């Protein structure tokens, strides 16, 4: 029995939150290593970055930090993703019910729904996102998420927990908007018999993969800027852009593109597939 099905009288938005949180838990646990590799690639020193690829970083992490080192940062990832994805999907569901209601959203409506939901979730969860990025980069030795939050507030001030806000929104809001637009439109184009068959989860997942690839490529430069700002809080967004260009050139804005594309694509596809199936099981139209 699913988590959501144990609460038949819960508010629909709460059901959406619970379904989203469950989908976020599954996808985070599976794809955390890709996020760590992406962060390490983006924060390599000048000179090293030009000759090191994802496989090299992977082998170095396993050699120096053991296999479990690939899941470094999983604690802040869970703290961020479990409520964060829940907030995202419940906000998406609420906005859709209020503005679109029962009809399928058009391309622009889907983009606005996805972007609006991500804005709410991104701002609320940004402090944990900052801590997660620092855990993954390997430059900080925090013992726990709570300890990291206290340390940042004490040594850098609470404002540091919101470093990279604009870069994060410039990355996540377009990603979510573009993703939901492509996902909803490709899913709506599927023949009705596929959507009603046992192969529906696979079809939804395939739509999610296509949407994830396109959204990831378009928003990759903003992700690199966001990482630099959160690892080096003294940098502002424009300074980070200038630094990346001067040190690495245009290709610097696509460091870590492969692991991020794999992770974001697979994670988003899985999250939406699980969410769709859970919402169907509790009798709600997602």
In a domain, 236, yes or no: yes
Q: What is the pLDDT of residue 3?
A: 46
CATH (domain of 136):
1.50.40.10
Q: Looking at the domain assignment, is residue 180 inside a domain? A: yes
Q: Tell me the whole-structure pTM to 2 decimals.
A: 0.76
Here the contacts of 240-249 (C-beta below 8 Å, separation 24 or greater) are 240/167, 247/46, 248/46, 248/49, 248/50
pLDDT for res 246 = 92
Query: How many structural domains comprise the chain?
Result: 1
Structural domain of 155: 10-281
- Quote the pLDDT of residue 50: 56
pLDDT at 23: 83
The pLDDT averaged over each successive group of 10 residues in the chain (286 residues) is 50 84 85 88 70 84 92 86 90 91 84 96 92 83 87 92 88 93 91 81 90 92 89 86 91 89 88 86 74
Q: Is 65 within a domain?
A: yes
DSSP the chain: --SGGG-TTS-HHHHHHHHHHHHHHHHHHHHHHHHHHHHHHHTPPTTTGGG--HHHHHHHHHHHH-GGGGGTTHHHHHHHHHHHHHHHHHHHHHHIIIIITTSPP-HHHHHHHHHHHHHHHHHHHHHHHHHHHHHHHSS---S-HHHHHHHHHHHT-GGGGGTTHHHHHHHHHHHHHHHHHHHHHHHHTS-HHHHTSTTHHHHHHHHHHHHHHHHHHHHHHHHHHHHHHHHSTT--HHHHHHHHHHHH-GGGGGTTHHHHHHHHHHHHHHHHHHHHHHHHHTT---
Residue 3 maps to a domain: no
Return the ∠ at Cα 85 (arms to 99 and 80), rounded to 5°. Answer: 140
In a domain, 136, yes or no: yes
Predicted local distance difference test score (pLDDT) of residue 116: 96
| Residue 5, domain member (yes or no) | no
Domain assignment of residue 286, yes or no: no
192 within domain boundaries: yes
């Amino acid at each position: 029995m699913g988590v959501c099905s144990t609460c038949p009288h819960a508010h629909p938005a709460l059901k959406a939150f619970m379904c989203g949180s469950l989908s976020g838990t599954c996808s985070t646990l599976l794809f955390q290593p890709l996020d760590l590799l992406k962060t390490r690639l983006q924060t390599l020193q000048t000179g090293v970055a030009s000759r090191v690829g994802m496989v090299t970083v992977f082998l170095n992490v396993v050699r120096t930090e053991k296999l479990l080192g690939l899941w470094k940062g999983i604690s802040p990832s869970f703290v961020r993703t479990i409520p964060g994805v829940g907030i995202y999907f419940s906000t998406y569901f609420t906005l859709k019910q209020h503005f679109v209601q029962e009809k399928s959203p058009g391309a622009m409506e889907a983009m606005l729904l996805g972007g609006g939901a991500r804005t709410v979730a991104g701002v609320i969860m940004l402090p944990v996102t900052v801590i997660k990025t620092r855990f993954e980069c390997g430059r900080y030795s925090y013992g726990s998420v709570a300890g990291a939050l206290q340390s940042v507030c004490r040594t850098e001030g609470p404002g540091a927990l919101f470093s990279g806000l604009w870069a994060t929104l410039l990355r996540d809001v377009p990603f979510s908007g573009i993703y939901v637009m492509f996902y909803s439109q490709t899913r709506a184009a599927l023949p009705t018999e596929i959507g009603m068959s046992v192969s529906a989860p696979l079809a939804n997942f395939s739509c999610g993969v296509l949407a994830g690839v396109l959204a990831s490529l378009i928003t990759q430069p903003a992700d690199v800027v966001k990482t630099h700002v959160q690892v080096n809080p003294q940098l502002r967004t424009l300074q980070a852009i200038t630094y990346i260009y001067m040190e690495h050139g245009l290709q610097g804005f696509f460091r870590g593109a492969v692991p991020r594309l794999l992770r974001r694509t697979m994670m988003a596809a899985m999250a939406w597939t699980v969410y769709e199936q859970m919402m169907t099981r509790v009798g709600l139209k997602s």
